[in-house]
Amino acid sequence: MWNAEYDVVVVGTGFAGLAAAIEARERGRSVVVLEKMRNPGGNSIISGGLVAAAGSDAQRLAGIEDSPDRMLADMLAAGQHLNDPTLTRMVAEHSAEVFGWLRDHLHVEFRDGVNQLGGHAVPRTCATAKPAGIAIIRPMLERCRELEIEVRLRSQLRSLVQDAGGRVVGVEVQDEYHFPEAESGETIRIRANGGVVLASGGFARDAGFRRIQDPRLDAYIDSTNHPGATSEGLVAALVCGATPVHLSWIQLGPWASEDEKGWGVGSLFSILAGFPYGIMVDAASGRRFVNELSDRKLRVDAMLQQDRHPVAIVDSGGVSRASTLEQCLKRGVVREYQTLEELARDNGIPTAALRETVSRYNASLEQGVDVEFGKPLLPDLAPLSNPPFYAIRLVPKVHHCMGGIQIDTEARVLHLVTRAPIAGLYAAGEVTGGIHGASRLGSCAIPDCLVFGRLAGMSAASGR
């Protein structure tokens, strides 16, 4: 009947899944982690490695006052207050704690300083030394090895197995699965004596599924996600009676490059340099059109109303924050110019209009307030005037699924009919819904994955 047996079966090897596995194993449980791709790390491994932490010692060092309440307020405002405030509060309240867990328990290396990201009231985002999620995934996998946690690659979840009473007692898996060939591999069944933790991520790359909720997001719209960001895990939970929340809230990111596929190397350039230290203009008019540090939804909605692709511009001062500059230049994603005029010409921007936009922006820095768009001005912000100048051409790409299945404060999955937890089933990360409401703020995904991933592991370990 069963091909293998563990206390805890985790589906997914991203931040949430590995956090759950580590917590369950550290509590003495036998654990297997299933990954459908041939490499571990899911979408997490290619993420930006940005971690919002409210009240961290990194903030204290930088003289920034912050609190979980402020972070909660920012998350609820971006979420248009559709968020479940209890769950959202948990992310904010434990954000500094999980940042500490990464740094002190898992020895993840971070760059000094904190970054100001869109929609956050203050700089509160720490960035990994190596500018990508792999800087977190690798130490997590290392810890899994130390703990002798089995990670089974090319193991695709087919369905959750329930007993007669509805308890999830295991999983049916395609073993030796070859993504994305649905019928590849062989079906095996793995028993979970304690519980199954679903951490299978979002469906940003699943054009068929995302179009059900938003017909505009067809296969012609690019996504920042890895190819495996599809909907099977979510669907497997829904057919067991899990409660769908906010499935139609699908986020596009405002910072990715038109000149490369996916997340690429350009996104971090825009996030760390272009938006906080530069400006974004519409190529057709040469004018700014939105607060470059507003939340992602506001920015993307504004971008979609422009006549042409927007361009983000920064000078040699601000560019020092861009951790991926070298790769961006090498791949032609960012271009360098000695004058603004040259930049305008090469990007098809009206030169006079761009010059006027830059002077108006520089003047607003002198006044200490962005009169036009209310962008928060960082204390170390300097006028855009020191060549060389750098430009990146931007296009919105599907980035994050706010929606998913509903969980409670112990990461238990709630049933649609009984409103009670489905026994034996836990979930964390992007497969869950309700924590970010209408729009997730940048760098809040990693705290979300870690807070609820760890909780899911603890709950599954204790059979709560």
Chain center to CA of 274: 19
The reply to whether 164 sits near its own copies by the rule CB under 8 A is no
The reply to whether 212 sits near its own copies by the rule CB under 8 A is yes
Choose the binding region for its own copies from 21-29, 138-146, 390-398, 414-422 (rule: CB under 8 A).
Answer: 414-422
Burial class (CB in 10 A: 0-12, 13-18, 19+), 77: middle
| Four-CA torsion 252, 253, 257, 258, nearest 10 degrees | 20
The reply to whether 214 sits near its own copies by the rule CB under 8 A is yes
Among 216, 261, 308, 330, binds its own copies (CB under 8 A): 216
Nearer to its own copies, 30 or 213 (CB): 213
CB of 81 to its own copies, least distance (A): 6
The reply to whether 244 sits near its own copies by the rule CB under 8 A is yes
Site string for its own copies, 219-238 (x = CB under 8 A): ----------------x--x
Among 215, 220, 307, 367, binds its own copies (CB under 8 A): 215
The reply to whether 167 sits near its own copies by the rule CB under 8 A is no
Q: Which of 158, 296, 321, 454 is catalytic?
A: 296
Site string for its own copies, 71-90 (x = CB under 8 A): ----------xxxxx-----
For residues 334 and 97, give the distance between their C-alpha atoms in angstroms, rounded to a whole number. Answer: 36
Instruction: Specify whether the CB–CB gap between 189 and 159 falls below 8 A.
Output: no
The reply to whether 419 sits near its own copies by the rule CB under 8 A is yes
Site string for its own copies, 431-460 (x = CB under 8 A): ---x--------------------------
Amino acid at 67: S
Locate 42 and state its tokens.
């899911």
Chain center to CA of 395: 18
CB of 88 to its own copies, least distance (A): 10
Site string for its own copies, 374-413 (x = CB under 8 A): -----------------------------x--x-------
Q: Catalytic residue at 296? A: yes
CB of 25 to its own copies, least distance (A): 32
Nearer to its own copies, 212 or 363 (CB): 212
Interface size with its own copies, residues (CB under 8 A): 28
Among 162, 213, 362, 364, binds its own copies (CB under 8 A): 213
Among 4, 221, 378, 416, binds its own copies (CB under 8 A): 416
| Active site members | 296
- Using CB under 8 A as the criterion, which residues of the chain lie in contact with its own copies when the complex forms? 81-85, 208, 212-216, 235, 238-239, 241, 243-249, 403, 406, 416-417, 419, 434
